Amino acid sequence: MNYKKHFKGKTILITGGTGSFGNAFTDKLILLKPKKIIIFSRDEKKQEDMRNHYQSDLLCFVVGDVRDIEAVERVMEGVDYVFHAAALKQVPTCEFFPLEAVKTNILGASNVIRTAVKYKVKRLVILSTDKAVHPINAMGMTKALMEKIMIASSRELDTIMCGVRYGNVLYSRGSVVPYFISQINKGEKLTLTHSHMTRFLLTLDDAVDLVLHAFINGERGYMYVRKSSACTIEVLAEALCEIFNYKKGWVEVGVRAGEKLHETLISSVEAQRASSLEKYFAIPPQSQGLDYNKYLPAKRKKHDVIPTPFTSENAKRLTVAETIELLLTLPEVKMERKKYGN
């Protein structure tokens, strides 16, 4: 698709823009000739690294926190499009400090949304997570409420808002693949939480593709999900051991607090109203108004069979060979492999 016509000459704001997604998205945006890309985040070291990497006049780096509405207001004026990626994303961190997750993931998101509306931003896309579906941890609960705030704010405003959901991105910060590779480099056994635990396998390119799809095609209050394959953690560990010809294997250490055995990107309730597209699912908001009579049991659409949720347990499972093939598309894995003469 020709994205240039949508971004050429536009001012774009990426909150949390120094993260894995922000870097991958910036790679794409720079080629599309925008007027300006504003990278808004708290970490001046990551901003300096990013500034030195790109050395582009298109990038504008602003140190600030989405929790601070004055900082958000200072950066929002004149912005055409917002991509909201700022969040506390680590499950254990949010379990230990749940109020911090509330401040960033809920109140911070609300600040971004309210300010975007105030300054008449044309489009806003929020980035959410599988953990927001049937949440069992603080990170998922706060992300679920972020989604609800976006949906509630999306009705009949100048700013078109929608969102995307995806699971852990391969080789993103804090994900399991770089952790396993670091253990291989140290000569340690890989530590699996549970061998039958399943996870979706999504590359950063796939995540960027999903966000661009939502940006171009997104309807008010909709959430978008990319159709993805999955594998067990044991298959992922075996694939990495084969790639690096690593013989020490792995050991199970138990599921961490707040972790699920399987990821869910669409619940059975959402599946009742979701549309299946070629590469994506589109989930419309449950209600677009306050006329509750429209949703009385007698007037609801009846379903003979409860639709199936979209989870990493029932998604297409990759074999070890297929997982190896996917992992070898990642530049980081290729680079690490060269160290071993492969």
Residue-level pLDDT at 61: 98
Asked whether the predicted pLDDT for residue 294 surpasses 80, the reply is: no
- Asked if the structure places residue 273 within a domain, the reply is no
Q: Could you give the C-alpha distances from 41 to 60, 96, 104, 172, 280, in angstroms and in order? A: 11, 22, 12, 17, 29
- Asked if the structure places residue 128 within a domain, the reply is yes
How many C-alpha atoms does 121 have within 13 Å on its Cβ side?
A: 28
Query: In 108-131, which positions are buried (b, 16+ CB within 10 angstroms) versus exposed (e)?
Result: bbbbbbbbbbebebebbbbbbbbb
- Asked if the structure places residue 218 within a domain, the reply is yes
Query: Given pLDDT bands bounded at 50, 70 and 90, which one contains residue 307?
Result: confident
Give per-residue pLDDT as tens, 146-164.
999 999 999 878 899 999 9
| Structural domain count of the chain | 1
Residue-level pLDDT at 290: 61
- Asked if the structure places residue 233 within a domain, the reply is no
* Cα-trace Rg, the chain: 20
Asked whether the predicted pLDDT for residue 305 surpasses 60, the reply is: no
Among 81-90, 98-107, 201-210, 329-338, name the one with the lowest average pLDDT.
Answer: 329-338
Q: Could you give the C-alpha distances from 19 to 160, 174, 176, in angstroms and in order? A: 24, 11, 16
Mean pLDDT of 137-147: 97
Q: Please identify every residue annotated as catalytic.
A: 131
Mean pLDDT of 258-280: 93
Residue-level pLDDT at 304: 47
d(CA 288, CA 295) in angstroms, rounded, equals 11
Paired with 41 in beta bridges are 63
Residue-level pLDDT at 26: 97
- Asked if the structure places residue 53 within a domain, the reply is yes
d(CA 254, CA 19) in angstroms, rounded, equals 28
CATH code of the domain in which 20 resides: 3.40.50.720
Residue-level pLDDT at 124: 98
Asked whether the predicted pLDDT for residue 306 surpasses 70, the reply is: no
Mean pLDDT of 107-119: 97
- Asked if the structure places residue 272 within a domain, the reply is no
Q: Pairing between strand 264-266 and 36-41?
A: unpaired
- Asked if the structure places residue 334 within a domain, the reply is no
- Coil vs helix vs strand at 108: helix
Structural domain harbouring 54: 4-167+203-226
Asked whether the predicted pLDDT for residue 279 surpasses 50, the reply is: yes
Query: Given pLDDT bands bounded at 50, 70 and 90, which one contains residue 297?
Result: low
Give the whole-number percent of the chain exceeding pLDDT 70.
93
Mean pLDDT score across all residues of the chain? 92
- Asked if the structure places residue 98 within a domain, the reply is yes
Q: Could you give the C-alpha distances from 170 to 35, 199, 331, in angstroms and in order? A: 30, 10, 11
